[in-house]
Structure 1
Amino acid sequence: MNPTQLATHIKRTAHDLGFSFVGIAAAERMEPEERRLEEWLNAGHHGSMRWMENHFDKRVDPTKLVPGAKSVVSLLYNYFPADDSPSRETPKIARYAYGEDYHTVVKAKLREWVGRLEETIGSPIDGRVFVDSAPVLERDWAARAGAGWTGKNTLLINPKAGSYFFLAELISDLEPAPDSRIRDHCGTCTRCIDACPTEAISPEGYLVDGSKCISYLTIELREAIPEEFAGRMEGWAFGCDICQEVCPWNRFSQPHSEPAFAPNPELPNMGKREWREMTEEVFRRVFRKSAVKRTKFSGLRRNLDFLEG
């Protein structure tokens, strides 16, 4: 196959497995993303996530992560739920965490996809697949590949379907025809900036102080949540979707069709009382396969107690 035919085949095979959008970029050292990342880290916007300081060269140069890499294929997998009631009433959890952990679900899809590609190509692909599991600047690569643009809330926004997507990549020696970037369509809109209750998004947009983000405070932060955020959490006990909820482009979001992302049957029916009286046994049962288990029961209890003041 020539590069154009290979690109078409890569995308068609991915779509067959449920990926909504696929884009391709040449594997090269990233500029100006490298400078932005360095400035962001130097400003301490990563909070206590010290691991983000590691493997800097691999983050900005995919050929350091996968020697011999020629391309980065970015894939988007929809997680927008048909029933988003667990994100409507306090305590709330982010929509991405309703069902099974996306790392497991999407990684399995990627492996099947690569297997199908290898069958067609007739030889092994020298590369690696990633789902938020290595030093890869996923949103930047997806933007380079034309799968969307980086919005003022710093999330990838696709003009046809919004931002409720998991991002994944194949970095490999394949050389399909690359795609072109698409232009930024945020315009003068400031809804995400105005809506963020902790002022994590800079007034000009395109920069998030992670140490102020509710998702960071409820998931990544291991210490006590600083008192300065009391009364500003908007009811979020795990993650936060505010900047996505107010984004006009998410009016185009469509419910996913992935059975693994269906919530535990108990979750939509949990009211304030059920959350307040949750035991560790219930936590393990309801969130056994969910990303919520990352906080552990003690972490979720801390978040719930903080919301109650």
Structure 2
Amino acid sequence: MHAAASRYTQLIKAKAQSLGFDFCGVAKADFLDDEAPRLETWLKNGMHGQMNYMANHFDKRLDPRLLVDDAKSVLTVLLNYYPDQTLPQEDDDYKLSKYAYGEDYHFVIKDKLKSLLAYIHEEIGEVGGRAFVDSAPVMDKAWAKRGGLGWVGKHTNLINRTMGSFFFIGELILDLELEPDGPITDYCGTCTRCIDACPTDAIVGPYVVDGSKCISYFTIELKEAIPDDVRGQFDNWIFGCDICQDVCPWNRFARPNQTAAFQPHPALTTFSKSDWEEITDDVFREIFRRSAVKRTKLEGLKRNIAFSQPFPAA
């Protein structure tokens, strides 16, 4: 079986690369014993805020065998989303997280993973498996770490030693035995740049982020009014936030992505501050038709724009 596992692993990794994935790693489908107490404490301390879905399916989050019958392997892929150019061009313009520049990654990665699964069926045979992209209780960074694709940094994002942290993560959980990759060393060392740079002090300690204090949480997940005590701290971020990644020394290795779907809508590259402030429903629908920004809806985006100004918009 070991020779077959090795051969299948090489086949699948080669196909993943040809589909455009930047990295592919394998871990044994097992209980995430290291993550269990950490997740429990994080939830108990209310660090998920109003992200109630994080508290659901606790057992499934920690054991992939509860998601796919007789699961043996978790295959994790990384897809780079670092852009050619950072938007906006002017310092005082409104800012979107880089992951939201282009098409919604859920669709892009899911399509590639489905192609990979179809290839596995063609080349290997009857293999049970499911593709996951943020769509189920899967701890993607934990599996990427176990699959040797990087380490989880002090900002709790996955860092890859050759390309930094601007990646989307997806998984295939399979009932096929593959050759696992071992985890790699944590290379954060004594660096605390991400902790020091967070304007809302959301990184409450190394490797612990209070999600309910994060700018991404306030601008995407929170559905009600943003609390006044964080006004003036958003540095013009109106959808997500990249501060902790932008200051990370490992991102000096980030290279522009090769995925056409992640190119920003042409109109977005010339969007001025006044364009954002005067955005209409038609413009919003056109520019963000296939974008993750749709999650916040126009109403949410307008709330974020108004909130990022020094005083409430009239």
TM-score after normalising by structure 1: 0.97
> Do 1:215 and 1:239's aligned partners in 2 also have CA atoms closer than 8 Å?
yes
Measure how far apart 1:2 and its partner are.
1.3
Pick aligned residue for 2:181 from 179, 196, 201: 179
- TM-aligned CA distance change 1:88 to 1:51, over 3 Å: farther
State the shift of 1:88 in Å: 6.3
Q: Distance in 1 between matches of 2:126 and 2:289?
A: 35
Q: Which ranges in structure 1 are unaligned for 5 or more consecutive residues?
A: none
Structure 2 counterparts to residues 263-274 of structure 1, below 5 A? 263-274=264-275
Q: Which of 45, 48, 51 is matched with 2:47 structurally?
A: 45
Alignment of 1:125-274 (within 5 A): 125-202=127-204, 204-274=205-275
1:116 maps to 119
User: Matches of 2:89 and 2:259 in 1, distance apart?
Assistant: 19
Q: CA RMSD in A?
A: 1.0
- Output one character per residue of 1:113-171: Cα deviation in whole Å (capped at 9) or x when no partner: 111122111x1320101011100000001001110000000000000000000000000
Cα pair 2:74 2:171 within 8 Å, conserved: yes
Q: Distance in 2 between matches of 1:55 and 1:268?
A: 40
Match of 2:208, SS? coil
- Which residue of structure 2 lines up, in the alignment, with residue 98 of structure 1? 101
Partner of 1:275: 276
Question: Equivalent pairs: percent with the same residue?
Answer: 54
Superimposed CA distance per residue, residues 249-308 of structure 1 (whole angstroms, 9 cap, x where no aligned partner) = 001011011111111110010011111111111111111111001000000000000012
Q: Is the 8 A contact 1:92 1:238 kept in 2?
A: yes
Q: Secondary structure at the match of 1:166?
A: strand
Give me the TM-score of the superposition, normalised by structure 2. Answer: 0.96
CA contact (8 A) 1:196 1:242 kept: yes
Deviation at 1:87, TM superposition (A): 7.9
1:18-53 superposed Cα distances (whole Å, 9 cap, x missing partner): 100111000011111011000000000000011111
- Structure 2 unpaired stretches of 5+: none
SS of alignment partner, residue 88 of structure 2: helix
Query: 1:13 & 1:129 partners in 2: Cα distance?
Result: 15
Partners of 1:295 and 1:51 in 2: how far apart? Answer: 17
Amino acid at match of 1:222: K
User: 2:87·2:96 contact (CA, 8 Å) conserved in 1?
Assistant: no
1:2 aligned counterpart, secondary structure: helix
> Match of 1:11?
13
Does the Cα contact within 8 Å between 1:87 and 1:94 map onto a contact in 2?
no
Shift of 1:86: 3.2
